């Protein structure tokens, strides 16, 4: 069974560690292929990729079996898991992950409900562990973590060589316990932030009317219930003498592709291409189209994005600009423009692998690059301390001029 996910990064507390194992090799003198010399394993047919000598793996395995000082106590199943993890890590893609059986079980349980952690999403940015977005109302937000914060240490342990899942393993934990993150922000001096873990529930949206003429919708995620929450908000807005919306996608880490299709369907024509799935080879690209009735088609819309806008939030922003000419205000988005597919493997293990990258309707790649706003407005630490929001104020100014 395969489960398709669209996730930026990964919500802290969702995943467990997928360990890494680096396979060495040694020159073997035996003429018989090494895989036939390994005792205790079923012989397997080895696929032969062009230019790849897979017998090196079996040579290394045989040397360990014959020479390693602790060979009497080898855990061969763990060796296999470690070898797969090492292979996956060699791809250099932080979102492709191998889960051992227990990790796979926890992952499947966690994506279906609430979880315990600090309530932030993390990713790898320029090989540095980075906060993509603290969730609204989460311990991470309350502790002062911000989108773009670089995590240098977790409880005093350096993070430079940690995968996302290794970091998640160290950050997540039981409700009421604390984790200390050493972060650096805007090239300032490193600082320690203590965050007390709690049960995390992913928020959906809030909305309000500004001066009786503009609806401000803050969409915090594209979770399972976001479609129904957005629908309820729209039905209330349609009863008001309003035709202008500010769609606030800041610190929205994404969620489900289908939800982004449904919410986009309120703003554009039914059947319009919302996003294109690019497989990166000769396979034909796949188009995903808007689902809905286009009830907000004639509304004036301005969207706000920042470095915490990722995945489905970037899909939404790109679609609204390409299809409707919506002005994007704020800061460059995160750049998590890829899709992962979860495949169940033997022994209860599973593999979450990046299978494609997202393109906006005009064919622009989101992955790594992110989306540049049309009107760039920075939100500084001084703005936060003074409770100012120049990004929202600029968006309000633009939409009122339309």
194-203 residue pLDDT tens: 999 998 877 7
Angle of helix 312-324 relative to helix 257-267, nearest 10 degrees, comes to 30
Confidence at residue 106, expressed as pLDDT on a 0 to 100 scale: 65
Confidence at residue 351, expressed as pLDDT on a 0 to 100 scale: 92
- The structural domains of the chain, with segments of one domain joined by +, span 114-200, 205-338+353-400
> Tokens 């790109």 sit at which residue?
318
> Tokens 């929450």 sit at which residue?
229
Least Cα distance to 305 among 381, 224, 366, 228 occurs for 366
Spatial separation of the C-alpha atoms in residues 209 and 248, rounded to whole Å: 13
Paired tokens of 266: 């309120």
**CA 320 to chain centroid:** 21
Confidence at residue 102, expressed as pLDDT on a 0 to 100 scale: 79
Q: Which CATH number fits domain 114-200: 3.20.20.70, 1.20.1440.230, 3.20.20.140, 2.30.42.10?
A: 2.30.42.10
Mean pLDDT for all residues in the chain: 84
- Judge contact between 309 and 251, C-beta under 8 A: yes
Confidence at residue 397, expressed as pLDDT on a 0 to 100 scale: 97
How many percent of the chain have pLDDT more than 70?
85
Confidence at residue 163, expressed as pLDDT on a 0 to 100 scale: 79
Domains 114-200 and 205-338+353-400 share a fold: no
Low-confidence spans in the chain with pLDDT less than 50: 1-3, 5-47, 112-113
Confidence at residue 9, expressed as pLDDT on a 0 to 100 scale: 39
Least Cα distance to 263 among 339, 205, 310, 212 occurs for 205
Confidence at residue 340, expressed as pLDDT on a 0 to 100 scale: 81
Confidence at residue 371, expressed as pLDDT on a 0 to 100 scale: 95
CATH superfamily of 205-338+353-400: 2-enoyl-CoA Hydratase; Chain A, domain 1 (3.90.226.10)
Could you give the residue numbers annotated as active site? 311, 322, 336
């Amino acid at each position: 069974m395969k489960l398709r996910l669209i996730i930026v990064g990964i919500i802290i507390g969702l995943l467990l560690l997928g360990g890494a194992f680096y396979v060495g090799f040694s020159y073997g003198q035996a003429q018989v292929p090494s895989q036939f010399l390994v005792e205790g394993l079923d012989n397997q047919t080895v696929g032969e990729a062009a230019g790849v000598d897979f017998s090196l793996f079996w040579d290394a395995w045989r040397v360990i079996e014959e020479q390693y000082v602790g060979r009497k106590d080898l855990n061969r199943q763990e060796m296999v898991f470690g070898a797969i993890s090492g292979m996956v890590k060699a791809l250099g893609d932080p979102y492709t992950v191998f889960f051992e059986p227990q990790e796979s079980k926890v992952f499947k349980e966690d994506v279906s409900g609430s979880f315990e952690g600090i309530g932030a999403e993390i990713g790898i940015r320029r090989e540095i562990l980075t906060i993509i977005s603290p969730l609204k109302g989460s311990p991470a937000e309350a502790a002062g973590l911000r989108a773009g914060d670089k995590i240098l240490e977790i409880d005093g342990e350096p993070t430079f060589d940690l995968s996302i899942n290794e970091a998640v393993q160290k950050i997540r934990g039981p409700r009421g316990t604390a984790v200390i993150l050493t972060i650096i922000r805007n090239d300032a001096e490193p600082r320690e932030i203590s965050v007390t873990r709690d049960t995390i529930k992913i928020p959906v949206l809030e909305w309000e009317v500004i001066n009786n003429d503009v609806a401000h919708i803050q969409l915090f995620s594209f979770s399972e219930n976001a479609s129904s929450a957005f629908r309820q908000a729209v039905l209330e807005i349609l009863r008001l003498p309003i035709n202008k919306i500010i769609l606030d996608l800041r610190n929205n880490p994404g969620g489900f592709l289908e939800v982004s299709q449904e919410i986009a369907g309120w703003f554009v024509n039914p059947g319009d291409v919302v996003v294109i799935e690019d497989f990166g080879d000769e396979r034909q690209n796949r188009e995903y189209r808007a689902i809905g009735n286009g009830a907000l088609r004639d509304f004036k819309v301005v969207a706000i994005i920042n470095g915490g806008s990722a995945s489905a939030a970037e899909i939404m922003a790109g679609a609204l600009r390409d299809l409707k000419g919506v002005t994007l205000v704020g800061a460059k988005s995160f750049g998590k423009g890829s899709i992962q597919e979860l495949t169940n493997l033997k022994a209860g293990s599973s593999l979450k692998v990046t299978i494609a990258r997202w393109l906006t309707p005009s064919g622009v790649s989101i992955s790594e690059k992110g989306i540049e706003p049309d009107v760039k407005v920075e939100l500084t630490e001084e703005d936060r301390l003074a409770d100012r929001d120049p990004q929202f104020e600029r968006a309000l100014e633009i939409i009122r001029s339309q």
